Structure 1
Amino acid sequence: MTLQITDEARVRTITLDRPEALNAFNEALYDATAEALLAAAEDPDVAVVLLTGNGRGFSAGTDLLEMHRIATDPDFVRGTHGFLGLLDALVDFPKPLVCAVNGVGLGIGMTILGYADLAFMSSTARLKCPFTSLGVAPEAASSYLFPQLLGRQDAAWVLLSAEWVSAQEALEMGLVFRVCEPEDLLAEAHRHAALLARRPISSLVAVKRTMTEPLRSEIRKARERENAAFAELMGGPANLEALTAFAEGREPDFTSLPPGW
């Protein structure tokens, strides 16, 4: 079981449920989350989706142990939707998406907020885009969406530094809508989601479509650029050093890489 799904007051709550892995996305969780979004999009009784995590993590991003297998095992069997399929589901999701960041968010656990219509964050949660520390490129059109949301310099810091972002910093940057105490987070996020869900679904869909339609072509172009850069870097010296260091439980050492890496 990788997801918990509940319905209340036309709000469908999707809870990532790999708490032992801080809800890191393996192929199974990518597939399950994509399927849940596709189902919610088609369900006439669902007006709003609320996405959160179970346990101490919102999501620790892509499961790095599985990522290492993908990078080194040519026989690894990928999921039906995978990472790219989840992004497709997020880009095309027609209804309001509310995120409640209950704990640590890394990689897709942070970049997914670029697709949230409202994001709430626990005061004790932290976020990080670890791409440069993994020797790879940005993902999920964050190279386009984050400058739009945060401004160029905050986006540059987040994407280049691979440093942690606190809840207060995320609020000040404009990445999240509200910061809540941990015990209040889900109730506050659901209260706002339920308020939206009392509006006509047709109107909610129209508002979201008119807001997001101008972004779609730029999101597509950004994803193409990111995918090309990611493909070039994944499996390269920096990425292999990062993944090997993770598997060995140590900090990566990029100082001995070939020139240019």
Structure 2
Amino acid sequence: MSEAHVVTHLEDRVLTVRFNRADKKNALTGAMYTALAEAFTAANSNPEVRVVLILGQPDCFTAGNDLADFLAVPPSGPDSPVMRFMRSLANLEKPVVAGASGIAVGVGVTLLLHCDLVYCGEQTKLNMPFSSLGICPEFASSYLLPRLMGHARAAELLMLGEGFSAKKALECGLVNALLPNAEVEATALAKARQIAAMPPRAIRITKMLLKKWSLATVNESIDFEAAHFMAMLHEPEAREAISAFMQKRKPDFSSFN
């Protein structure tokens, strides 16, 4: 299966799903979210797929949402493309491996929370700038991050919205290993193939058990965050923050309460 900006390839029972919009730093559009949701949903029911591998390019995993596309057609309910994408990845029963290098922003970071193994380029820059854009965390990150790294570290990343290094991501438990950018894809593929060669039912049951005790809360968190996120997109803080970002100026929040 291939879409203009999402390409999939099945080989050795590993389904590779690649962001393929390098000229826009793999910024995700509604059409890309739809293609991703369809790929993950199909993988769940395809017996030929044992592992899903998510990749970008060596210099860019994904810059997150394409803001122009996102603002033109903002998510408005549970059946919007981004919500279908989130649910399909969060509930994928087969193991998911990710190889991220270059930059990972916004959903490019939070989607890693729903992968089973993550390999990262050692020079990768990560960022979750939700608060600085006048919006709130998404993809169950407000639930998963504190449990992964503790409240203080999660609050620092989500409240300040500052970029952080791959080394910090490793220290916080967000990724499994750091590698030279040129080795990320090959390593992630090798790990995916290693899992694909193992007893498939044992792997699926192991993943189910790892996620069982939190999956219901993850799904609840996705919906609860999204309700706030969608409402906040239309509020003055977000309008000022996003306008300033698009205009390359410093936002002014001095008049807000």
| Alpha-carbon distance between aligned partners in 2 of 1:114 and 1:167, rounded to the nearest angstrom | 14
Tell me the SS of whatever aligns to 1:93: coil
CA apart distance, 1:229: 2.0
Counterpart of 2:249?
Answer: 250
Q: Deviations over 1:12-66 (max 9, x none)?
A: 1111111111111110110011111111111111111110113632111111112
Q: 1:232 Cα shift?
A: 3.2
Please say if residues 58 and 182 of structure 2, whose CA atoms lie closer than 8 Å, have aligned partners that are also in contact: no
Query: Which residue of 28, 45, 67 maps to 1:64?
Result: 67
1: CA distance, partners of 2:231 / 2:60: 30
Matched, 1:10 2:13: yes
Amino acid at match of 1:145: L
Q: 1:253 to 1:234 in 2, by over 3 A?
A: same
Residue in structure 2 matched with residue 47 of structure 1 by the alignment: 50
Does residue 184 (structure 1) correspond to residue 175 (structure 2)? The answer is no
Instruction: Give the percent of matched residue pairs that are identical in Structure 1 and Structure 2.
Output: 33
What is the match of residue 149 of structure 1?
A: 148
Tell me the equivalent position of 2:35: 32
Unaligned runs of 5+ in 1: none
Equivalence for 1:223: 222
In the other structure, the counterpart of 2:194 is 195
Amino acid at match of 2:120: M
Contact 1:56–1:104 under 8 Å retained in 2: yes
Q: Which runs of 5+ in 2 are unaligned?
A: none
SS in 1 for 2:253: coil
Instruction: Report if aligned partners of 1:16, 1:23 keep a CA contact under 8 Å in 2.
Output: yes
Q: In the alignment, which residue of structure 2 is the partner of 1:128?
A: 127
Q: Work out the CA distance in 1 between the residues paired with 2:73 and 2:234.
A: 10
Distance 1:81 1:10 in 2: 30
Give the structure 2 partner of residue 159 of structure 1.
158
Of 59-68 and 84-93, the range deviating more from structure 2: 59-68
In the alignment, the residues of structure 2 paired with residue 82 and residue 54 of structure 1 have an alpha-carbon distance, to the nearest angstrom, of 23
Partner of 1:236: 235
Q: Determine the C-alpha separation between the residues in 2 that align with 1:130 and 1:9.
A: 37
8 Å contact from structure 1 (residues 3, 16) kept in 2: yes
CA distance in 2 between counterparts of 1:173 and 1:145 reads: 12
Distance (whole Å) between structure 2 residues aligned to residue 17 and residue 145 of structure 1: 28
Letter in 1 for 2:30: E
Give the 3-state SS of the residue equivalent to 1:49 in structure 2: strand
Contact 1:132 1:160 in 2 (8 A): yes
State yes or no: 1:117 paired with 2:125.
no
- Distance in 2 between the 1:86 and 1:120 partners? 21
Question: By how many angstroms is 1:225 displaced?
Answer: 2.7
Give me the whole-angstrom Cα distance separating, in 2, the residues matched to 1:97 and 1:251.
38
Using the alignment, how far apart are the partners of 1:91 and 1:39 within structure 2? 14
Query: Quick one: distance in 2 between partners of 1:118 and 1:12?
Result: 15
Give, in whole Å, the separation in 1 of the partners of 2:41 and 2:115: 16
Aligned residues: CA RMSD: 1.9
TM-score normalised over the length of structure 2: 0.93
Q: Quick one: distance in 2 between partners of 1:10 and 1:171?
A: 28
| TM value normalised by structure 1 | 0.92
Q: How many residues align?
A: 254
Q: Secondary structure at the match of 1:13?
A: strand
CA contact (8 A) 1:52 1:100 kept: yes
Tell me the SS of whatever aligns to 1:57: coil
